[in-house]
Amino acid sequence: MRSKDLNPQNFTEFADEVVLKGREEEPRKEDTQKVNFYGLELDDLKDLLKKLGKESYRAQQLFKWVYQSRVTDFEEMSNISKKFRAELPDLISFELPKVVEHLVSKDGTQKFLFDVGFSKTVEAVLIPSDDRLTLCLSSEVGCNMACKFCFTGKQKLKRRLTADEIVGQFMQVHDRLKEGQRISNIVFMGMGEPLDNPEAVFKTIKVLHSTWGMNFSRRKVTVSTSGLVPQIPLITESGARLAVSLNAPNDEIRNFIMPINKKYNIKKLMDACREHTSKARDRVTFEYVLLKGVNDSIEHARQLRKIIRGVPCKLNLIPFNEHPGADFHRSDSKDVFRFQKEILNTGTHVTIRRTMGRDIFAACGQLTSHYNEHPKKQEVQTGILG
């Protein structure tokens, strides 16, 4: 499935003020004669070169130079004819989103602020661990899902990013890695709902997956969703892994904290997850943000056990991360462990995500575009859960 063949349905208003159609407040970048290389799949580049009468293998050569050798000066591409090299600057650009600021947490987490034009910014986060280096990418400026516990959800959707802007986040971080480092995993869990911008997200995956490019394994890519049920099959078809931001053990609580549930309730969501696991032959990861006094009791854990029963899954428990204006509080550590133990008794794989990057507002649910109004750092009391 080529990304340009995607035809995502338009969504209608599903809850209160939340509208997925979301008219964008700012226009996209103006079209120019040049094409941004980072927004091209290999087949796109082949088509472009074919129109110029060039052989298709030239696209593979360009991919290798740019992605594998990180050469963007056409004059250095020695296996391409001098005549062709002279034509390329008028055809292709290598524009990357500018890094406005780079913050480093006490725990080694790195946050990058990118300028995506029209005074709009997005954030991406590089998360280190013992056996992996995970890059959390953003797919939109703002978000229309309006999840009440998420800082990004407090701002409306401003613009859906293009594929070159998402690939550009990856390349900018990649180019700043220390010698010997390599991004091992990609998660679309940054700003925005990935399935509200499917064409750009899945095109990005294809670009980075190309064996002539970064050769990034699809099984090392996770696409998260708040519950856009009709779009979940796109994840299945892409070969990426599925993560679902669940966060509630019943429809009443989920309706309250995640308005998307009023359109696609928990039963519909679980049915879609079962279908995914059957076709993909892979388990789904359920993300569950623990909100003190809202969804973190033993009874809530028992209800959660029932709704995920029969779905091959891993459950990630995430203690709530504070942000300016938050209406919720972080669950006590003892309640987090009690919740985990109650689920573990059923044999389900349950982990508690260690909080990373809280001191630079880089943890789950803390990203935003309201940069000028957003504090850059905070003092945090770290404990066993981070």
* Interval 154-187: pLDDT, tens: 888 999 999 999 999 999 999 999 999 999 999 9
Helices (H), the chain: 42-50, 57-63, 82-87, 163-174, 198-209, 232-238, 251-257, 266-280, 298-308, 333-344
Q: What is the pLDDT of residue 371?
A: 54
Residue 199 makes CB contacts below 8 A (sequence gap 6+) with 3, 4, 6, 8, 163
Task: Answer yes or no: is pLDDT of 369 > 70.
Answer: no
Higher pLDDT, 247 or 353: 247
123, 165, 287, 342: which is the annotated catalytic residue?
Answer: 123
User: Token pair of 292, please?
Assistant: 């003190």
| Residues 168-191 as b or e (16 or more Cβ within 10 Å = b) | bbbbbbbeeeeeeeebebbbbbbb
Which pair of tokens denotes residue 305?
Answer: 């056990």
Question: Which two tokens mark 113?
Answer: 């602020």
Question: Among the options 199, 252, 364, 373, which is catalytic?
Answer: 364
Distances (CA, A) of 374 to 23, 51, 107, 113: 25, 47, 21, 12
The reply to whether 287 belongs to the active site is no
pLDDT for residue 18 is more than 60: no
Neighbours of 71 (CB within 10 A): 16
Second CATH level (architecture) for the domain 96-373: Alpha-Beta Barrel (3.20)
The closest alpha carbon to 170, from 130, 131, 200, 150, belongs to 200
pLDDT of 325 over the 60 cut: yes
pLDDT at 375 over 70: no
Higher-scoring residue by pLDDT: 348, 214: 214
Measured distance CA(199)–CA(28) in Å, rounded = 15
- What pLDDT band is residue 383 in, cutting at 50, 70 and 90? low
Spatial distance between the Cα atoms of 144 and 152, rounded to a whole number of angstroms = 9
- Across the chain, mean pLDDT equals 88
Q: Known catalytic residue: 30? A: no
What integer pLDDT is reported at residue 156 of this predicted model?
87
Rounded Cα distance, 196 and 152, in Å: 14
Q: Give the predicted TM-score (pTM) of the model.
A: 0.88
Work out the pLDDT band at 360, boundaries 50, 70, 90. confident
> Residue 25: its pLDDT value, please?
47
pLDDT at 33: 77
Mean pLDDT of 6-28: 42
Inform me whether the pLDDT recorded for 292 exceeds 90.
yes
What's the whole-number mean pLDDT along residues 96-103?
Answer: 95
Which residues are paired to 225 by β-bridges?
Answer: 244
Based on its alpha-carbon atoms, the radius of gyration of the chain, rounded to whole angstroms, reads 21
Evaluate whether 113 touches 123 at the Cβ level (below 8 Å).
yes
Tally of residues, the chain = 386
Neighbouring residues of 5: CB distance < 8 A, sequence distance ≥ 6: none
Mean pLDDT of 288-306: 97
Mean pLDDT along residues 2-23: 40
pLDDT of residue 78 exceeding 60, the answer is yes
Nearest C-alpha neighbor of 20 from the set 224, 162, 198: 198
Q: Say what the pLDDT of residue 23 is.
A: 41
Portion of the chain with pLDDT greater than 70, in percent: 84
Q: Which pLDDT score is estimated for 24?
A: 47
Candidates 48, 66, 64, 65; CA nearest to 56 is 48
Write the DSSP symbol of residue 272: H
Q: By percentage, how much of the chain surpasses pLDDT 90?
A: 75
Q: Which residues of the chain form CATH 1.10.150.530?
A: 35-93
Q: Are 137 and 170 in contact (CB under 8 A)?
A: yes
Third-level CATH fold of 35-93: DNA polymerase; domain 1 (1.10.150)
- Residue 138's pLDDT band, with cuts at 50, 70 and 90, is very high
Beta bridge partners of 319: 290
Per-residue model confidence (pLDDT) at position 377? 54
Per-residue model confidence (pLDDT) at position 324 = 72
Q: Please measure the distance between the N-terminal and C-terminal CA atoms of the chain and give it in whole angstroms.
A: 41
Give the pLDDT of residue 26.
52
- pLDDT higher than threshold 60 for residue 48: yes
| Token couple for 77 | 């591409």
Which residues of the chain are in CATH 3.20.20.70 domains? 96-373
The whole-angstrom separation of Cα 65 and Cα 279 is 36
* CA–CA separation, 230 and 36 (whole Å): 31
